[in-house]
Structure 1
Amino acid sequence: MTDEGARSFGLAASIYQAARPGYPVEAVAWLVGDAARVLDLGAGTGKLTAALVALDREVIAVDPVEEMLDELEVQVPGVPRILGTAEDIPIEDASVDAVVAGQAWHWFIPERAIPEIARVLRPGGTLGLVWNSRDTRAGWLHEAGEIMHERHDASATFETYVDVGPPFGPVEEHTVEWIDRMPRARFLDLVRSRSYYLTAPESEQRATIAAIDALLDRHPDVAGAAELAVPYLTRCFRARLAD
């Protein structure tokens, strides 16, 4: 993660925690299989950590942003928290059964992160990557994405992100479709939690929120709605380390 990106997420840790969705249990269970000890890499405020704890896994949380880990301690107390990066993971060799990353792989430098992940995994261990992406087949969400300057259609391009390669085996994929119901205010906070918004000038931030407000007022699918039904695709990818 860039220094600018880290600073922006640090300043918005509480907004990130309140606005961003969690992960469906089905998706997380598939991601880690029977792994007992799991490293959540780029753990942020603990969205994925919480799902792993709910599945009764032993979890270690690593993130480069102290404010994010402070928020994680509030949300998922008792989980070991370590400042670190994917390129320099501060734990012992062959010490975890799985390494997972939620909404984070695109911040990593793969040529440095992949050897580090392989180092901390036990033989046959799992690398699991997961993204929640809003399902832009819903027209109003497609328009919202354009306003928010989303950099890619995530559902079409994750495969290029997860070309992990040796020493990992083939990448498997699993998708879970679900609905996150939220008030309008939380959707606006979701916009405010995105890296593009966080690093934009204040005038552009105001313009973005105004445009999203206008969209929610006029689009027939959401105009006047007290609650927004936001469809998500949770895209999961996993690969196993060679024994």
Structure 2
Amino acid sequence: MPTLPPERAHRSPRDSRDHQQLAESFGTDAERYDRARPRYPAALVDRIVAGSPGRGVLDVGCGTGIAARQFQAAGCTVLGVDPDARMADLSRRFGTETEVAAFEAWEPAGRGYDAVVAGQAWHWVDPVAGAAKAARVLRPGGRLAAFWNVFQLPPEVAEAFAAGYRRVAPHGPFDLGAGAERAMDGYRPLFTKAAAGIRETGLFGEPEQWRYDWAWRYTRDAWLDQMPTLGALTRLAPDERAEVLDGVGAAIDALGGGFTMSYATVAVTAARTGAG
């Protein structure tokens, strides 16, 4: 189920403001975000590390440092960059050196890295400017990897989510339909844009897609804890959010108090070529 606004080829000034406000809304409850958001498959982290020339990692849009800590656990030295000072502060508290900046405006000051990664964040970065900045800081053979967690709720839970959201935000931009293919379809434009941006720089090999399918068992409380961190809900008023959560909670209760979520983690990745 997509948790992102529909992609547009060109944003109007109002669209750009909405995009920025949505991006900034995730920091309103940074501790909940860090506690509740899913991690990434260890196999993906290991593959990125193994396919890089060294262990220096730049984490773009690092948020609270969820992915950064996974790379640190794999033996990497990680610098995080995030535009939200609230998220960056929590990332530092959890042990990741983090600088506050939009990636396009961030100044590397001559520093170089073996991998540039972005977990659930590259859609906030200009795909061409971001890939060019990544190429600037990557050592030859270094890897750019942008990845996303795509999830599929059980139909009963997805339908309760969609119904509650339509009641409180009937003109909202989010498609909350159920179904694995609809969930993945919501993300395919992001994968396409990321790959196109990488190609446009002329500084990387051909982008690849890596996919990892996995599952996670949620209790009612654990899923309701995560829901307020989703883009569909971060800007709702508290009473509107509570109405959506109540409906979803009732649906989970009807399933016995928990459910298994199907996840697919998809990475768009390419290696830096030459020294150009």
Tell me which interval the TM-score lies in, with the shorter structure as reference length.
Answer: 0.7 to 0.9
Alignment of 1:99-178 (within 5 A): 99-136=116-153, 138-140=154-156, 142-143=158-159, 146=162, 149-150=174-175, 153-156=182-185, 157=188, 158-163=190-195, 164-165=198-199, 166-178=202-214
Partners of 1:94 and 1:122 within 8 A in 2: no
**Cα deviation 1:113-161 (Å, max 9, x = unaligned):** 222121111222211011111135x434543664564579452314323
**In structure 2, C-alpha distance between the alignment counterparts of 1:146 and 1:104, rounded to whole Å:** 24
Bigger CA drift: 187-196 or 172-181?
A: 172-181
Q: TM-score if structure 1 supplies the norm length? A: 0.86
**In structure 1, C-alpha distance between the alignment counterparts of 2:127 and 2:176, rounded to whole Å:** 19
Alignment of 1:144-223 (within 5 A): 146=162, 149-150=174-175, 153-156=182-185, 157=188, 158-163=190-195, 164-165=198-199, 166-218=202-254, 223=255
* Structure 2: 5+ residue stretches without partners: 1-15, 166-173
Structure 1 letter corresponding to 2:68: T
**In structure 2, C-alpha distance between the alignment counterparts of 1:155 and 1:74, rounded to whole Å:** 34
**Cα deviation 1:3-52 (Å, max 9, x = unaligned):** 42344222111110111011121011123423410100000011100110
Structure 1 match to 2:112: 95
SS in 2 for 1:56: coil
Counterpart check, 1:52 vs 2:71: yes
1:123–1:145 CA distance, 2 compared to 1 (3 A): farther
**Cα deviation 1:184-205 (Å, max 9, x = unaligned):** 1120121100122111233432
Partners of 2:127 and 2:194 within 8 A in 1: no
* Structure 1: 5+ residue stretches without partners: none
SS in 1 for 2:256: coil
SS in 1 for 2:262: strand
1:104–1:61 CA distance, 2 compared to 1 (3 A): same
**Cα deviation 1:91-111 (Å, max 9, x = unaligned):** 234611110000001111223
**In structure 1, C-alpha distance between the alignment counterparts of 2:227 and 2:260, rounded to whole Å:** 15
Partners of 1:28 and 1:52 within 8 A in 2: yes
**In structure 2, C-alpha distance between the alignment counterparts of 1:37 and 1:236, rounded to whole Å:** 19
**In structure 2, C-alpha distance between the alignment counterparts of 1:107 and 1:155, rounded to whole Å:** 18
**In structure 1, C-alpha distance between the alignment counterparts of 2:230 and 2:28, rounded to whole Å:** 12
Structure 2 letter corresponding to 1:25: A
